Structure 1
Amino acid sequence: MGAGSHTPWWKNDGFKIGLALAIVAGIFAVVAAVIPVVFSGDDAEASDSKPTVTASESSKVESPSKAPDSVGEVPDSVGEEPTPEEGGSSPASSPRPQTKFLSTVEYVGGWVTEESRSLNGHDYPYSIATFIDGDCGTEQKVRYVEYQLDKQWRTFDTTAFLSRETRSGVKVRYTAYLDDSIVGKPFTIGVGVEKPLHLDVSNVGRLKLEAVYVGGADDYCQVGYAVWGDPKVSQ
């Protein structure tokens, strides 16, 4: 090519360098513009996926109550009936006494006196007694006392004897009845004698104790007292 020839402008080295720089600058500009858009979109999606909790709603959140020590555990007191203390009484009713003196049981017939008696140095503070008629007439005098047991007791115990003021030589026959039927064997005692008596009174409604003068003080009317010392019924 001659000295007068002219190189086209697009083949000029300066143009080429400038064009390259312009392209690179444009690429950087595009990248710089795209990156914020991409990241801002991800943030928006993340924020959309999380629920928004307002101040009023957060104030309604309650702390969990205390959990039981073990699942399904029942308190020891559930379903258990209260047990009365020994010697005490249950809330529903008071227990029946295990032993009662006959003087505190319902009296239903006969003639009786209730007072403390003693014989041969033995004291019987809860005794019952009935007076004895002597042989002052032709008719034999039968004396008795009767009590309502209501089938609530198992045993009856007493000590039979004649009072200290009974006339010397008097003999008295003792007989016991359970619901009008004689029980055991009647016995006869005199002054100064103590005779224990034990009866099974299970399922018995009434107890009748009878005393009859059989001799020793003829021509006297009232000769003394037949005594049942501390008679008692027990469970």
Structure 2
Amino acid sequence: MEDPTTPRRRTGRGPALTACAAAAVLALLATGGARAAGSDAPSGPGEPPAPPVPPVTRYLADLEPLDSAGLGTGSADVNGTPFARSVFLAVDKGSRPQGYAEYDLGRDWRTLTATIGLRDDSPTGCELRFESAADGRTLDSETLGIGESRQVALDVTRALRLKLQVTYASTTDVTQYCHGVWADARLTADAPPDTPIAGRPATTTAGPARDDGGDTDTDHWVRGELFPLLSAVKADLAASEATGYAARCDRLQRESDHMTDVALDGPSAPLDNAVSAVGRYLALVSANCGAHPGAVGPYAAGFADAVEGTLKPALAARGYELPG
């Protein structure tokens, strides 16, 4: 090791090295000045690359369908597992053997993932066929019963229309609706977060934006309980006009009982009162459809008037549009 007290020997290359070092410093300063002055200068090789952009996801339950029958959204238990943001379709053997929901994807999504199966509170004996299609092309078809579920990942790249459908597939005629669920169904795209995505919830013209402050209980009650029940009652009343009210009296009586339960469970007083008003006419229908079917017509008309004149405005005040 060199003795630090010993003076170093000068060499003839000292001035040359000093000159080279000075030139290098000047060149470095010039380069840095040019880079600071211009915004288009390339990044240095040591700078980290930009982080990858995370994919965009959106729950199908948050989208407004173009058309539907028997549709509900909200929480659902499937095969013993709870799912908070699900899409489900209510069907039975008689009045509505098939339920569906169709969505506009705007050709902006890549994948649809979900767990499919029957809602655990569906009656024993329910068996449903689950089908999904994009622009008329079948993506998946599966028949499942109570206590069965399956995870699906469907390619919806460049699809414009998505249709989900369940069909009653059991030979047993159960007394309540079977609910086919696309549990926590979500769409995924590769677009950056600030890219406009088609298929976002449409702005309703039925009233102001929902003022439930993100109240998922209200939303589940309206979309998951009230809307499917109203659709079922309307279908049974329409069919009864052709076949007679006595033929569907049992169903109308069950629906009347269910309407009472729905009104009692409602989390919003104005909506509860509106549902109760509608329910009173349905109770008169169910009380007379067996013994006095000829007297049911005015009560059925009163039900329709109460839906349009009382319930519809109450829903609109909370930002909900009554399904057709």
What band does the TM-score fall into relative to the shorter chain? 0.5 to 0.7
Counterpart in 1 of 2:39?
A: 78
Counterpart in 1 of 2:168?
A: 213
SS at the partner of 2:139? Answer: strand
Counterpart in 2 of 1:227?
A: 181
CA RMSD of aligned residues (A): 3.1
TM-score, structure 1 as length reference = 0.57
Where does 1:112-131 land on structure 2 (aligned, <5 Å)?
Answer: 112-131=71-90
TM-score, structure 2 as length reference = 0.42
Larger helix percent: 2
Segments of 5+ residues of structure 1 without an aligned counterpart are 1-68, 88-94
CA distance in 2, matches of 1:215, 1:225: 13
Give 1:195 deviation, angstroms.
1.6
Counterpart in 1 of 2:14?
A: none
Larger C-alpha radius of gyration, 1 or 2?
Answer: 1
Q: Does 1:145 align with 2:101?
A: yes
Counterpart in 1 of 2:138?
A: 182
Give 1:128 deviation, angstroms.
0.9
- The amino acid that maps onto 1:207 is L
Equivalent residue in structure 2 for 1:158, among 89, 98, 114: 114
Matched residue count: 156
- The amino acid that maps onto 1:230 is D
Segments of 5+ residues of structure 2 without an aligned counterpart are 1-28, 43-49, 190-324
- The amino acid that maps onto 2:100 is Y
Where does 1:14-25 land on structure 2 (aligned, <5 Å)?
Answer: none
SS at the partner of 1:173? Answer: strand
Give 1:149 deviation, angstroms.
1.0
Question: Which one scores higher on RCO, CA 8 angstroms, separation ≥ 6?
Answer: 1
Relative distance call for 1:79 and 1:233 in structure 2 (3 A) is same
Give 1:164 deviation, angstroms.
1.8
Relative distance call for 1:219 and 1:100 in structure 2 (3 A) is closer
Relative distance call for 1:96 and 1:144 in structure 2 (3 A) is farther
CA distance in 2, matches of 1:199, 1:162: 19
Give 1:106 deviation, angstroms.
4.0
Larger strand percent: 1
Identity %: 25
Maintained 8 Å contact 2:66/2:104: yes
Maintained 8 Å contact 2:92/2:174: no
Counterpart in 2 of 1:107?
A: 65
